[in-house]
Amino acid sequence: MAVQSNLKNMVLCLFTTCLVCSAVLAGVYALTAAPIAQTNAQLLQQSVGAVLPEGGELSEAKDLEVGGQPSEYYILSENGQDKAYAVKSTVVGFGGPLVLMVGVTADGKVYNTSVLSHTETPGLGAKCTTDEGFMAQWKELDPAVKILKVKKDGGDIDAITASTITSRAYTLAVQNAIDAVKGMGDASTGASVKPKEEMENEQ
């Protein structure tokens, strides 16, 4: 406050402030970059680990198209055989993107699912990360036995109370992941991919 402003001291002051601040931030960034990377890797490891059976070796991230969007997946293999896949599946929920990690075993069954990120309404759709009844029904779910639609739409999935849109989105994300894994198998054996018409109906 005390200093008279002139061009020279204003430029000098702003320059020095920015220089010092940048230096401080660069220093802190250098110090925290490793812990941040470690934390992120740990979180990913947790989310992938939670949806896959135990044992085996996990691959690096691989590119895959899920539900018409570029995404990624991880392969869990044991004795050189693919045991299960963890597929990252993104759909539009009620409040924005809903990103799931879906574990699909080699025989096409869902092993487990977990939410990576969401912007659903707290207390409503956000229950997809806490509602035990809703979460439990994805565990070891066989799409050949259960119809992957919420009960309102004639399927076998119990929706979260008052959150049908979130539940539908969740179901679609799981379906997309299953289809993507099926698509991989079809591509390698040369069999036909799921008819396009059927895909559209599920939307």
Partner 1 sequence: MNSKLQLITKGFVKDNPTFVLLLGMCPTLATTTSAINGLSMGLATLFVLVLSNMAISAIAPVVPDKVHIPVYIVVIATFVTLLQFLMQAYTPGIYATLGLFIPLIVVNCIVLGRAEAFASKHSIGDSALDGLGVGLGFTLSLTVLGAVREILGSLSIFGWKIPGTGDGMLAFVMAPGAFICLGYLMVLFNKYLAKK
* Residue 50 engages partner 1 in binding (rule: CB under 8 A): no
* Residue 41 engages partner 1 in binding (rule: CB under 8 A): no
The owner of tokens 């799921």 is 194
Please state, in angstroms and rounded to a whole number, the distance separating the CA atoms of residues 95 and 98.
Answer: 8
* Residue 132 engages partner 1 in binding (rule: CB under 8 A): no
User: Burial code of 117-154, b = ≥16 C-beta within 10 A, e = fewer?
Assistant: ebebbeebbbbbeebeebbebbeebebeeeebbbeeee
Q: How far is the CB of 38 from partner 1 (least distance, A)?
A: 8
Check if the beta carbon of residue 184 is closer than 8 Å to that of residue 64. yes
Q: Which of 69, 78, 92, 117 binds partner 1 (CB under 8 A)?
A: 117
Please state, in angstroms and rounded to a whole number, the distance separating the CA atoms of residues 128 and 9.
Answer: 57
* Residue 69 engages partner 1 in binding (rule: CB under 8 A): no
CA 91 to each of CA 8, 15, 28, 95, 177: distance values in angstroms, whole numbers, following the listed order: 54, 46, 36, 11, 11
* Residue 5 engages partner 1 in binding (rule: CB under 8 A): yes
Which of 170, 166, 126 lies closest to 148, judged by CA?
170
* Residue 124 engages partner 1 in binding (rule: CB under 8 A): yes
Please state, in angstroms and rounded to a whole number, the distance separating the CA atoms of residues 46 and 178.
Answer: 21
Q: How far is the CB of 100 from partner 1 (least distance, A)?
A: 16
Site for partner 1 in 155-184 (CB under 8 A): 161-162
Cβ distance to partner 1 smaller for residue 14 or 92: 14
Cβ distance to partner 1 smaller for residue 24 or 193: 24
Rg (CA), the chain: 23
* Residue 193 engages partner 1 in binding (rule: CB under 8 A): no
Q: How far is the CB of 95 from partner 1 (least distance, A)?
A: 11
* Residue 129 engages partner 1 in binding (rule: CB under 8 A): no
The count of chain residues that interact with partner 1, using the rule CB under 8 A, is 30
* Residue 26 engages partner 1 in binding (rule: CB under 8 A): no
Give contact residues for partner 1 (rule: CB under 8 A). Answer: 1-6, 9-10, 13-14, 17-18, 21, 24-25, 28-29, 32, 35-36, 39-40, 43, 117, 121-124, 161-162
